[in-house]
Amino acid sequence: MLFLGIDGGGTKTDFVLCDEMGKILATQRLDSASHWQYDSDRLAGILDKGFHGVLQKSGKEASDVISAAFGMSGYGEDGEKDRASTRICEGFFKDIPVKICNDSEIGLIGSLGFEPGINVINGTGAMAAGRDNSGRVDRAGGWGHEIGDEGSGYWLGMKLLEMFAKQSDGRIERTSLYGYVKEQLNIHRDFDIIALFHNEYCHDRSKTASLQKILCDLAGQGDPWALALYDRSAADLVMLAQALRDRMDFSDPVKVSYSGGVFEAGACILGPFKEKLIDLGFAYAEPRFTPIEGTIILAAKQVGMHGALMEKLGHFGKRRPQ
């Protein structure tokens, strides 16, 4: 008996095949299949390539898969697109039961299982998902970079460029940030950054978010502006948790965990994030599993096997890379 999990974020789609003993048999990473970015033909193609890719790697057959789960970026935000994606997924998997949800929900399951609590997701975008005492799932944030996503990887990348421009002008004091940005982006004149941004970053959210890695280096070197930006990011992320606590049915203290690539920056973001949570009366919780493991747990839930699978996944000890 095998479970198929699909984590379909805004920049990538991960497939994972797992057996009932919690052993990961195969994984595959492809481009995003989010229906906000691409048409239905692309979704069908990604499903076909990813599913058959993990089957081929594992030497298994489609008939061995008893359930699937798909956490999709943007799902639940447009009824017409949701219905189209659901038809495609159900048509593709046919006799295999498939659960489709927003990718924030699989992050929540990965971090906290099915216990009440909140998971804050910080990757290219930023949002939080919570499950309360009644089992109701809700979310805050995830409005997209044009409207929100404060504190996200994209937001941090743009703030890095803003700080560079201000330091170049002399509007704020120059720190190591100024020279390090020029070095890392290989620009000679300060104004070269304008053409670079428009040519390489302007229309690519994930690439803009990757600038956060420069900021992470600077924070590790103790640059005050870099540290201040991560502190501001943490404050915006904690605000998402506050919003969910205020409107959902929780018992105090509310558990809050995390997922997403920005948290891999380590202490510069996790330190202020944890501190602000505790100051506001939350209970900080390290994630139990990764989001992609959340998909296979959700798949197992469709056939009532999630409890046993979670125990077996936990038996492997170290968390797998996200």
Angle at the Cα of 195 from the Cα atoms of 192 and 198, rounded to 5 degrees: 145
Q: What pLDDT, on a 0 to 100 scale, did the predictor assign at position 226? A: 96
Report the C-alpha gap between 70 and 96 in whole angstroms. Answer: 12
Q: What size, in residues, is the chain? A: 322
Report the C-alpha gap between 292 and 105 in whole angstroms. Answer: 11
Angle at the Cα of 66 from the Cα atoms of 65 and 69, rounded to 5 degrees: 90
Reduced to 3 states, what is the DSSP secondary structure of residue 257?
strand
Is 198 within 8 Å of 191 (Cβ atoms)? no
Nearest to 165 by CA among 234, 213, 225, 216: 225
Residue 88: partners with Cβ closer than 8 Å, 6 or more residues away: 40, 43, 44, 47
Q: What pLDDT, on a 0 to 100 scale, did the predictor assign at position 321? A: 37
State the DSSP code for 249.
-
Q: Do strands 137-141 and 283-284 pair parallel, antiparallel, or not at all (unpaired)?
A: unpaired
Per-residue pLDDT of the chain (322 residues; tens, 9 = 90+): 899 999 987 667 899 999 988 899 999 998 777 656 566 678 888 898 999 999 999 999 999 999 999 998 888 877 888 888 888 888 888 889 999 998 899 999 999 999 999 999 998 889 999 999 999 999 999 887 788 789 999 999 999 999 999 999 999 999 999 999 999 999 999 999 999 999 999 888 888 999 999 999 999 999 999 999 999 999 999 999 999 999 999 999 999 999 988 998 899 999 999 999 999 999 999 999 999 899 999 999 989 989 888 888 865 444 443 3
Q: What pLDDT, on a 0 to 100 scale, did the predictor assign at position 149? A: 87
Q: What pLDDT, on a 0 to 100 scale, did the predictor assign at position 316? A: 46
Nearest to 209 by CA among 10, 6, 7, 59: 10
Q: What pLDDT, on a 0 to 100 scale, did the predictor assign at position 80? A: 82
Report the C-alpha gap between 287 and 111 in whole angstroms. Answer: 4
